[in-house]
Amino acid sequence: MLETHLKNILPRFKGKKVLIIGDLMLDEHIWSKVSRISPEAPVVVADVARISHVPGGSGNVAANISALSGIPYLVSTIGDDSSGIKLSLALNNLGVSTKYLTKTKERPTILKSRIIAGSQQIVRVDREDKTEISAKLSEKILQKALKLIPEVDAVIISDYGKGITSNHNCKQIIKFAQKHKKPILVDPKGSDYSKYQGATIITPNQNEAEVASGIKITDEKSLSKAGEKLLSTVKSPFVLITRSENGMSLFFKDGKTINIPAIAREVFDITGAGDSVIATLALSFASKATAGEAAYLSNYSGSVKVTKIATQPVYLRELENALLELEPSGKKIKSRKELKEITQRLKEENSKIVFTNGCFDLLHLGHVRYLKEAKKLGDILIVGLNSDSSVRKLKGYPRPYLPEHERAEIIASLESVDFVVIFNETRPDNLIKIVKPYIHVKGGDYKISELPERHIVKRYGGKIVVIPPTKGKSTTNIIEKIRKFNA
């Protein structure tokens, strides 16, 4: 199955180094509540609840690289101002180094403020200087980028049309990256794509493709013409046109086209989706995936981003789960948010929910029998699965032997299991508070009076049941047998 094949590429993302050069900005989110109209003018009144700051532009691309387990090298300018300080902190919080940023008084940090009520943007206010930076500053940025190219696995040019990616700089970076055989990915802007000539792939959205090609895209024929025109202009092996609800179209220089359908999801906010797409593409190319595989993975990544409100990166686990969801067992794997909604609905239907948790590393007969017995206690069985990091805290190195997404898929494939949720904590307390199961099940020789979570279960009126283990069946026994066999 395609999703399984794509999933096998994801572990190769880890540690891949990606250079990102482009326009850096600070995204300010003003989270508000709207409940009245102003008496002064026909506009809503937004009561501010909180304000948050995250990296935007090339900073969001870098944040996505980090979230997907890559290592971002971000080269750009940052203003010597209060917004610059906030931006530096925001980058560091998301695992992005500010080492290669050039602080300048020449221009302020670009600031985009969005007032958000519920899941809806009300207005965006931009404070920016779009003029090209001085020749001296431009050369300084270029030299930083050129110095890093030999060290990285892929190069991204993130062009937001704010003056960082000049014609000269783009051409020099592409030429040098070609010399070092690095894939070059461009998120383009404007009508003249000649400065991107020689890039490996460009990723315009449909509107950008129309502007650059001069062709209005109304059907498959005009889409093909636009793709061919851009291939000719940029002289790239590939052009990927993102088309929102119509998915993506990948054009090859040999005339081949792959149309990738959109993945049906509830769309909350498209902000930053293009950044998630190009970050996933870059890591895919860096991991030696084919252009087709890279495009399919980036399509999944974009589908995850649009379910999130405001500027947010896509994390590797979210991408793994998006792929799992389309496999039969994958539909059972849920996020905490999804699980909360599901359990509320199930309780309205008077379904008896049973919850258990564990590492389930190297699934064996004892696990299977335990889960069967747990399911008999109610209508729906939800399994909380310890993440890789929490298993390591509980069991020590080298556990777990199987990564969390594989363990989740194996558990979800069992007929007795209805839903699986991965959690990072060593104890399931927070999940129990969300699910509030009719019965909380533990496996082993526990005494209920010794269970730390008993107070939570008692507080909401639930029950705890302990199921004895199957004699002689444990992960530890399996490991010992393997060791003796190999001794």
How long, in residues, is the chain? 487
Q: Is 312 annotated as a binding residue?
A: no
The number of C-alpha atoms within 13 Å of 140 and in the hemisphere containing its C-beta is 12
Q: Is 205 annotated as a binding residue?
A: yes
Q: Are 330 and 324 in contact (CB under 8 A)?
A: yes
β partners of residue 466: 442
β partners of residue 251: 239, 257
Is 219 assigned a catalytic role? Answer: no
Determine phi and psi for 25, rounding to 5 degrees: -150, 165
Q: Is 299 annotated as a binding residue?
A: no
Out of 275, 361, 388, 418, pick the active-site residue: 275
Q: Is 172 annotated as a binding residue?
A: no
Binding-site residues, in ranges, read: 205-208
Catalytic sites, residue numbers: 275
